[in-house]
Amino acid sequence: MEKISSRIKRLLEEKGIKQTELAARASIAQSSVSRYVNGLGEPKLRELHAISKALGVSMDSWFAGLPPPVVVDENGKQLPHVTNAERKLLKEIRAAIEKFNKNTKKNK
């Protein structure tokens, strides 16, 4: 199973793009791109989207071939399979709803 770091490295080689050029195209720090390529961290969803656009690949391609994660709710009940991207998006949505609810309570 190919990791995101390996995929980025392979795509850079295939397209003849250097890390510095990818960083500039994606508006990401070159040190961050280096960390991702060397497997020392993984890009956040926003950064992965920018990298995808800069490399001309779809967001789905990052997760192709990966086994679906096991997701459980707060009661330990297993939920239907979701992709990593969907799980991150759900987390962001929950955080936004929580922030909205807090702001709404403050304004009452």
Whether pLDDT at 3 is above 90: no
Same domain, 11 and 58: yes
Same domain, 9 and 49: yes
Same domain, 47 and 97: no
Which pLDDT value is given to residue 62?
A: 78
> Which residues constitute the domain of residue 52?
4-62
Query: Which two three-digit tokens encode residue 49?
Result: 């989207």
- Give whichever of 47-56, 63-72, 98-107 has the largest mean pLDDT: 47-56
pLDDT interval class at 105 (50, 70, 90): confident
pTM exceeds 0.75 for this model: no
Helix (H, G, I), strand (E, B) or coil at 70: coil
pLDDT interval class at 74 (50, 70, 90): confident
What is the rounded distance in angstroms from the CA atom of residue 55 to the CA atom of residue 12?
8
Which pLDDT value is given to residue 24?
A: 96
What is the rounded distance in angstroms from the CA atom of residue 46 to the CA atom of residue 50?
6
> Tens of pLDDT along 26-66?
999 999 999 999 989 889 989 999 999 999 888 877 777 65
55 touches 15 (CB < 8 A)? yes
pLDDT interval class at 22 (50, 70, 90): very high
Give the amino acid at 17: I
DSSP classification of residue 83: -
39: domain CATH number?
Answer: 1.10.260.40
DSSP string, 16-67: T--HHHHHHHHT--HHHHHHHHTTS----HHHHHHHHHHHT--GGGGTTTPP
